[in-house]
Copies of this chain bind each other. A is one copy, B any other.
Amino acid sequence: MRNEEYSGWEDVRAEALRRIQSRAWAPGALIPSEEEFARELSCARTTVNRALRSLAEEGLLIRKRRAGTRVAELPQRAAKLNISLVAEEIRARGASPSHLCILQDSRPLPSHIAAAMSLPVAAPLIYVETLHLADARPFAFETRFINPQSVPAAREADFASVSANEWLLRHAPFNHGTLDYSARPAEAEAAEALGCAPQTPTLVLDRVTHGPEAAITWVRMAYAPDYHLTMKL
Please give the residue numbers on chain A whose beta carbons come within 8 Å of chain B beta carbons, in ascending order: 21, 27, 73-82, 84-85, 88, 166, 169-170, 173-185, 201-204, 207, 209, 212, 223, 225, 227-233
Cα distance A203–B225 in the bound complex, in angstroms? 12
What 4 A-B pairs have minimum CB-CB distances, sorted nearest first? A201-B201, A183-B183, A177-B233, A76-B84
Tell me if B80 and A76 are in contact (CB < 8 A). Answer: no
Tell me if A169 and B75 are in contact (CB < 8 A). Answer: yes
Tell me if A173 and B75 are in contact (CB < 8 A). Answer: yes
Tell me if A178 and B230 are in contact (CB < 8 A). Answer: yes
Cα distance A35–B125 in the bound complex, in angstroms? 46
Q: Given A76-B85, A80-B81, A173-B21, does the pair A183, B180 have CB atoms closer than 8 Å? A: no
Cα distance A24–B44 in the bound complex, in angstroms? 38
Tell me if A181 and B201 are in contact (CB < 8 A). Answer: no
Tell me if A209 and B182 are in contact (CB < 8 A). Answer: no
Q: What are the residues of chain B within 8 A of A27 when measuring CB–CB?
A: 170, 173
Cα distance A215–B184 in the bound complex, in angstroms? 32
Q: Given A76-B85, A79-B179, does the pair A184, B201 have CB atoms closer than 8 Å? A: yes
- A76-B88, A79-B81 are known contacts; what are 15 more A-B pairs with Cβ within 8 Å? A74-B84, A74-B170, A78-B80, A79-B179, A176-B233, A178-B232, A178-B233, A179-B230, A179-B232, A180-B228, A180-B230, A180-B231, A182-B203, A183-B203, A209-B233
State the Cβ distance, A195 to closest chain B Cβ, in Å. 16
22 A–B contacts from the bound complex (CB under 8 Å): A27-B173, A74-B166, A74-B170, A75-B173, A76-B84, A76-B88, A77-B84, A79-B81, A79-B82, A80-B81, A176-B233, A178-B231, A179-B231, A179-B232, A180-B228, A181-B230, A182-B228, A183-B201, A183-B202, A201-B202, A203-B203, A207-B233
Cα distance A209–B79 in the bound complex, in angstroms? 13
Tell me if A78 and B82 are in contact (CB < 8 A). Answer: yes
Cα distance A92–B77 in the bound complex, in angstroms? 17
Tell me if B81 and A76 are in contact (CB < 8 A). Answer: no
Q: What are the residues of chain B within 8 A of A207 when measuring CB–CB?
A: 233
State the Cβ distance, A176 to closest chain B Cβ, in Å. 6
